[in-house]
A and B are shown apart, each in its own frame.
Chain A
């Protein structure tokens, strides 16, 4: 595996950004996630893979308390962001989600202008004092999302008028605008064509210079292409977590092997 490490996918990550220990999730009687321990590293892309219903999206949604909105959900264990418990009663979930942004499967821009889509978060968090500062944040976010050149002349046009791939990058810009530390992406490319997918993947690779990115994907090839670390979930358990190159060439657990080689597990 030395050769693999020498390749571009080498981990350039820094320290642990999110540390999850013994995380459990119940939806009513259904024990959806069992005892998950994961460290999400700074400046790296971590992919969660696994069959439908394995708990990968459930775990992703724990990382910015999206499960708070599900009435029947109960969560156990500890999730620390930069050493602080995100489930501490003193933590404001809205502030948390500014730090841990999320991008969803289907592009879901607000029915507002491109500018207002990106400006929305900074406005509600009171991040700017004047229009010039807000303009700057919007431009920077659109540039980070590799969308600026395509939309700079029509910032007043509606976000919903963009192509699917552009809409998804707009949603990434919207998530980036609040200056997050972690970006969560739930199947960000499954509604996109291959070209738009490649653009978003390229963007993810660029984003890891400044953020920690966690992506849930059904495409194992996508996980292999964009991530440095891969976690395989199965039936609510975290089965294996390791360097992506190792997971795809020499997985340690037979369940991982069965899944990534397309065998009946």
Chain B
């Protein structure tokens, strides 16, 4: 439904909510990439800026929440309009959590900078972060373009993220078994990898919101999961 509302202020309200979500998405993507770069290059100043930047993401989420509450109260949206408001709120929540993970990554970077480096680890994490951020970017693009095919594609890619995470997990196990002095750093790195993998789940959730927005139905078939670390002895 692309035609405009008879009441044009309604259109402006809905558009401004979606614009806020897109701005929030941009901040989260930057925070994740910066945090991964700071980890890889041991750039403590960049890590500090990522930590400080999370407040802006949280503030946007609050702004979106109160804007949506106002829209629900004053405009009583129905059908696509209602689904737009509901998905905006869900996506903002997913982005807010993702921003927290970026902040946590930056915090651990400060600790890891004081420890011996694990060869190959930060590069692998940076590649994982890049893949996850691409998922998030595509999920948000799919949202703004109402692109079902792209949303489905993002959902499928979560499988690749799980696989990347699995192999990182195994690598860390190896390092820890080889030398117990690696355990401290590897534990931090593992939490980082797990958090980035969680951002992938949030990107998938955003893609599912796109499907709900366009079709009115949440996808019900279970996504293929390949995270097998739960069964690693």
Contact = CB atoms under 8 A, between A and B. Distances in A.
Contact of B216 (A224, A249, A262, A264): A249
A261 B217 contact: no
B73 interface: no
Interface stretch (A11-19, A178-186, A251-259): A251-259
A58 B8 CA distance: 32
B79 A248 contact: yes
Contacts, number: 45
Nearest to B10: A262
A45 to B, nearest CB: 18
Interface of B, helix, strand, loop or mixed by DSSP: loop
Contacts of A155: none
A254 B3 CA distance: 11
Interface string A193-226: 0000000000000000000000000001100100
A221 B76 contact: yes
Interface string A224-249: 10000000000000000000000011
A260 interface: yes
A249 B81 CA distance: 9
B80 interface: yes
B233 interface: no
B72 to A, nearest CB: 12
A250 interface: yes
B173 to A, nearest CB: 41
Contacts of A258: 1, 3
- The range of chain B's interface size is 10 to 19
A218 B6 CA distance: 16
Contact of B78 (A1, A220, A254, A264): A220
Nearest to A254: B1
B4 A264 contact: yes
A262 B79 CA distance: 10
B74 interface: no
A248 B79 CA distance: 5
A224 B78 CA distance: 10
B5 interface: yes
Contacts of B81: 261
Nearest to B7: A262
Nearest to A260: B78
Nearest to A251: B79
A263 interface: yes
B82 interface: yes
Interface in B54-87: 76-83
Task: Identify the interface centre among A220, A249, A256: most chain B CB within 10 Å of its CB.
Answer: A249
Contacts of B1: 254, 257-258, 261, 263
A250 B78 CA distance: 8
A263 B5 contact: yes
B4 A263 contact: yes
Given A248-B78, A249-B216, A250-B217, A262 B6 contact: yes
Contacts of A264: 3-4, 6
Contacts of A224: 78
B78 A261 contact: yes
A158 to B, nearest CB: 39
A248 B3 contact: no
B3 A250 contact: no
Contacts of B10: 262
Interface in B5-63: 5-7, 10
Nearest to A224: B78
Contacts of A221: 76
5 contacts: A248-B82, A249-B82, A256-B79, A257-B79, A263-B5
Q: Which 6 A-B pairs have the closest CB atoms?
A: A250-B216, A260-B78, A248-B78, A261-B81, A263-B3, A257-B79
Given A257-B79, A261-B80, 16 more contacts: A248-B79, A249-B82, A249-B83, A250-B79, A251-B79, A254-B1, A256-B79, A258-B1, A260-B78, A261-B5, A261-B78, A261-B81, A262-B5, A262-B6, A263-B1, A264-B4
